[in-house]
């Protein structure tokens, strides 16, 4: 079980809001309750955000067990960069990492430190390889999966450089093995996450590697405990995130950190869809790098955050613009050595190639679906349990639903 | 039979309608996606049909965009009602454009449309006279 978006059926009223919003049409109403097709879900969180009845519980139910059932394991925490935007202005954010230790972790490796490294790797790749334009960031797993399902022709544009979470996991494991004389099996790595999408990156990566992170913990689930520790008087061990690295939590932050001059930062699902259409049409090849974040404003907009995305953005800017940079990045000196070995690069996982397309059959199928569609009222009302009349026609064709689930036609009959 | 027409999608394209520009090629794209056309082919067709559509919008009095599906090829056809391309060889040159300043201000008119159509199709025919331009771009499967 690795699915992170649960529905409380008692709260769901079958209002169709989530179903209509879902960018991959992964949701249907079955017996008046929303149902997510996990194979299609990209964990973007749109359904969680839009539900008027808060019926979705956006959590990986297993995180708690994972954390508490493994008391013998050495626990590493990797806090997301957006965590630093969640505290009131004036909070000593250098105390956050120590607070994480206090709530039950044994070691902290900041995602922003890894971002320092990844930003350099991105910069070098963009300077060196000029044939692919624009490169598209692989930081947001939901955006990457949207591309995979809706814009597969743009998979070649993905910049295949491991993202900070992954790099942080590898480097943290390495340090802990050495410093504490442990084996990999004795270690568990948790990412404190702003969103459900990161869980997907851990359980089902697009790359052909074994993820270094074992599980994600929703930020909001430990925020209360963390905050209490952060403000305690006796919490006085300071350790700083990278001030440029924390900007990764805001759209545009990756590109700025990588010192790119010619980039585009798009955020919010609908906006991403428009930009991907443009790229597919051959436009935007004059741009070096496209940052696409599923959430408004970037990861500060992730559904597990506790603070409004705009306030969090302002907090992050404040931190990165006005704090004195006292960050000591533990691995920055090793960058050249790591980069030379190809440490940051990866390949896409081999996917099963679809069998040879029989165009004749495909056209026939499309025509049959069109015939069904033409008999439907075209209201896209959602009452049948599918997001649009076309989706209903496809479901009927695939024998996944009944033609007369359409309430308008049933009323006429 | 590999060379019999399986399906034709047709869209009307209005001159100067920049709000709707791109809708027809978008529709072609989503139809081809739902057929399961390979993504590399799809991308080439996306570029060809978008550029052909935009040329009807920008340079012509209006016309139609067709996408013909055969078992072994896909053909994008644009037909318009004039005024025609004055010098086709010149129009094929990268960067050549007669687009007005107001069109350029909208971000069009880089003069790369026809060269890209040529680049991404396996076979291209252009017939143009004052009564209209017909472009037939073939992509082999
Ligand atoms: N359908 C058309 N009707 C008339 N003229 C056209 C048509 N398509 C292209 N042209 C002419 O060919 C030129 C080059 O076209 P293209 O390469 O697409 O560049 P652009 O559209 O950016 O001007 C246009 O500027 C125009 O003069
Ligand atoms: S998380 Fe996104 S993709 Fe998944 S069901 Fe919700 S809206 Fe659809
Ligand atoms: S933008 Fe960030 S927070 Fe939102 S889904 Fe993507 S990775 Fe998660
Ligand atoms: Mg053009």
Q: What is the pLDDT of residue A1?
A: 42
The rounded mean pLDDT for chain A is 93
Task: Please state the atom number of ligand 1 nearest to the C-alpha of residue B110.
Answer: 22
Q: What is the pLDDT of residue A66?
A: 67
What's the pLDDT tens digit per position in A211-239? 999 988 889 989 999 999 999 989 889 99
Q: Taking residues A319-330, report their average pLDDT.
A: 93
pLDDT at A241 over 90: yes
Pick from A280, A282, A363: CB nearest B116:
A282
CA of A306 to the centre of ligand 2 (A): 20
* Interchain CB contact of A380 with B (< 8 Å): no
Q: How far apart are CA A307 and CA B41, in angstroms?
A: 44
User: Does pTM top 0.80 for this prediction?
Assistant: yes
Task: Please state the atom number of ligand 2 nearest to the C-alpha of residue A50.
Answer: 7
What's the pLDDT tens digit per position in A261-270? 999 999 999 9
Q: Taking residues A294-301, report their average pLDDT.
A: 98
3-state secondary structure chain A: CCCCCEECCCCCCCCCHHHHHCCCCCEEEECCEEEECCCCCCCCCHHHHHCCCCCEECCCCHHHHHHHCCCCCEEEEEECHHHHHCCCCCCCHHHHHHHHHHCCCCEECCHHHHHHHHHHHHHHHHHHCCCCCCEECCCCHHHHHHHHHHCHHHHHHECCECCHHHHHHHHHHHHHHHHHCCCHHHEEEEEEECCCHHHHHHHCCCECCCCCCCEEEEHHHHHHHHHHHHCCCCCCCCCCCCCCHHHHHCCCHHHHHCCCCCEEEEECHHHHHHHHHHHHCCCCCCCCEEEEECCCCCHHHCCCCCCCHHHHHHHHHHHHHHCCCCCCCCCHHHHHHHHHCCCCECCECCCCCCCCCCHHHHHHHHHHHHHHHHHCCCCCCCCCCCCCHHHHHHHHHCCCCCHHHCHHHHHHC
Q: What is the pLDDT of residue B3?
A: 77
Q: What is the pLDDT of residue A257?
A: 98
Q: Taking residues B113-120, report their average pLDDT.
A: 97
What's the pLDDT tens digit per position in B6-32? 999 999 999 999 999 999 999 999 999
Closest residue of chain A to B120, computed from CA coordinates: A282
Q: What is the pLDDT of residue A356?
A: 80
Among A265, A291, A337, A319, residue whose Cα is nearest residue A110: A319
* Interchain CB contact of A350 with B (< 8 Å): no
Domain limits, chain A: 1-58, 62-340, 359-413
CB–CB contact B29 A280 (8 Å): yes
Q: What is the pLDDT of residue A59?
A: 60
CB atoms within 10 A of CB A356: 7
B110 to chain A nearest CA, in Å?
11
CB atoms within 10 A of CB B64: 15
pLDDT at A50 over 90: yes
Query: With contact defined as beta carbons under 8 Å apart, do B131 and B63 qualify?
Result: no
* Interchain CB contact of A152 with B (< 8 Å): yes
Of the residues A4, A17, A24, A391, which should be mutated to test ligand 2's pocket, given the most ligand atoms within 8 Å of the CB?
A24
CB–CB contact B6 A153 (8 Å): no
* Interchain CB contact of A360 with B (< 8 Å): yes
CA of A145 to the centre of ligand 2 (A): 11
Contacts across the A-B interface (CB distance below 8 Å): 51
Q: How far apart are CA B88 and CA B102, in angstroms?
A: 23
* Interchain CB contact of A90 with B (< 8 Å): no
Rounded to the nearest 10°, the torsion over CA A405, A407, A409, A412 is: 140
Respond yes or no on whether ipTM tops 0.85: yes
Q: How far apart are CA A252 and CA A254, in angstroms?
A: 6
N-terminal to C-terminal alpha carbon distance within chain B: 15
Q: Taking residues A146-152, report their average pLDDT.
A: 93
Rounded to the nearest 10°, the torsion over CA B43, B47, B52, B55 is: 160
> Environment class of residue A32 by beta-carbon count within 10 Å: exposed (0-12), middle (13-18) or buried (19+)?
exposed
Query: With contact defined as beta carbons under 8 Å apart, do A267 and A298 qualify?
Result: yes
Architecture of domain A1-58: 2-Layer Sandwich (3.30)
Which residues, judged by CB distance below 6 Å to any ligand atom, belong to the binding site of ligand 1?
A: B 51, 55-56, 58-60, 80, 84-85, 91, 96-99, 109-115, 133
3-state secondary structure A217-268: EEHHHHHHHHHHHHCCCCCCCCCCCCCCHHHHHCCCHHHHHCCCCCEEEEEC
What's the pLDDT tens digit per position in B41-88? 999 999 999 999 999 999 999 999 999 999 999 999 999 998 999 999
pLDDT at A73 over 50: yes
pLDDT at A63 over 70: no
Q: How far apart are CA B134 and CA B132, in angstroms?
A: 7
Q: What is the pLDDT of residue B11?
A: 98
* Interchain CB contact of A39 with B (< 8 Å): no
CB–CB contact B7 A281 (8 Å): no
Which residues, judged by CB distance below 6 Å to any ligand atom, belong to the binding site of ligand 2?
A: A 5, 21-22, 24, 26-27, 36, 41-47
Which CATH code is given to the segment(s) A359-413?
A: 1.10.15.40
- What ligand is nearest to the CA atom of residue A192? 3
pLDDT at A319 over 90: yes
pLDDT at A2 over 50: yes
pLDDT at A61 over 60: no
Chain B residues touching residue A152 (CB < 8 angstroms): 39, 42
What's the pLDDT tens digit per position in A354-403? 778 899 999 999 999 999 999 999 999 999 999 999 999 999 999 999 99
Angle, in degrees to the nearest 10, between helices A269-280 and B39-59: 80
Q: Taking residues B116-126, report their average pLDDT.
A: 98
Which CATH number is B7-140's, of 3.40.109.10, 3.40.50.360, 3.40.50.620, 3.30.565.10?
A: 3.30.565.10
Q: How far apart are CA A360 and CA B31, in angstroms?
A: 14
B80 to chain A nearest CA, in Å?
21
């Amino acid at each position: 079980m690795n699915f992170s978006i649960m529905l409380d059926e008692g709260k769901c009223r079958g209002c169709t809001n989530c179903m209509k919003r879902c960018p991959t049409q992964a949701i249907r109403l079955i017996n008046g309750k929303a149902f997510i097709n996990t194979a299609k879900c990209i964990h973007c969180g749109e359904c969680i955000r839009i539900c008027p009845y808060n019926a979705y519980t956006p959590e990986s139910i297993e995180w708690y067990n994972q954390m508490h059932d493994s008391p013998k394991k050495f626990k590493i925490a990797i806090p997301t960069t957006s965590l630093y935007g969640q505290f009131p202005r004036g909070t000593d954010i250098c105390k956050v990492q120590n607070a994480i230790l206090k709530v039950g972790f044994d070691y902290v490796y900041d995602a922003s430190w890894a971002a320092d490294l990844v930003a350099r790797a991105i910069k070098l790749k963009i300077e060196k390889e000029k044939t692919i334009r624009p490169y598209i960031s692989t930081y947001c797993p939901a955006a990457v999966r949207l591309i995979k399902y809706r814009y597969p022709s743009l998979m070649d544009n993905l910049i295949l450089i491991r993202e900070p979470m992954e790099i942080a996991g590898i480097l943290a494991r390495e340090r802990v093995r050495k410093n504490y004389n442990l084996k990999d099996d004795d270690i568990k790595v948790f990412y404190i996450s702003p969103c459900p999408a990161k869980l997907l990156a851990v359980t089902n990566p697009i790359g052909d590697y074994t993820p270094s992170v074992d599980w994600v913990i929703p930020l909001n689930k430990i925020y209360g405990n963390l905050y209490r520790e952060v403000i305690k008087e006796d919490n006085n061990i300071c350790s700083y995130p990278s001030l440029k690295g924390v900007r990764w939590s805001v759209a545009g932050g990756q590109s700025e950190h990588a010192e790119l001059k010619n980039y585009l930062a798009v955020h919010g699902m609908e906006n991403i869809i428009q930009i991907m259409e443009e790229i597919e049409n051959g436009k935007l090849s004059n741009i070096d790098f496209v940052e696409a974040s599923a959430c408004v404003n970037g990861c500060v907009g992730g559904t597990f955050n506790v603070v409004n995305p705009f306030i969090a953005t302002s907090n992050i800017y404040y931190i990165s613009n006005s704090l004195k940079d006292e960050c000591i990045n533990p691995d920055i000196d090793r960058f050249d050595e790591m980069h030379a070995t190809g440490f940051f690069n990866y390949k896409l996982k081999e996917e099963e190639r679809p069998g040879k397309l029989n165009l004749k059959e495909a056209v026939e199928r499309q025509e049959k679906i069109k015939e069904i569609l033409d008999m439907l009222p075209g209201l896209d009302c959602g009452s049948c349990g599918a997001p649009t009349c076309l989706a209903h026609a496809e479901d009927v064709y695939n024998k996944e639903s009944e033609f007369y689930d359409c309430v308008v036609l049933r009323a006429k009959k | 039979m590999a060379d019999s027409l399986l399906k034709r999608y047709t869209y009307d394209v209005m001159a100067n309608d920049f709000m709707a520009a791109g809708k027809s090629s978008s529709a072609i794209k989503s139809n081809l996606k739902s057929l399961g056309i390979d993504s590399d082919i799809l991308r080439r067709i996306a570029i060809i049909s978008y550029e052909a559509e935009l040329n009807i919008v920008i340079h012509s009095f209006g016309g139609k965009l067709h996408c013909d599906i055969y078992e072994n090829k896909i053909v994008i056809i644009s037909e318009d009602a004039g005024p025609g391309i004055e010098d086709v060889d010149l129009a094929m040159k990268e960067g050549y454009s007669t687009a007005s300043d107001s069109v350029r201000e909208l971000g069009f008119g880089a003069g790369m449309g026809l060269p890209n159509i040529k680049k991404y199709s396996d076979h291209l025919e252009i017939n143009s006279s004052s009564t209209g331009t017909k472009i037939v771009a073939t992509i082999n499967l």
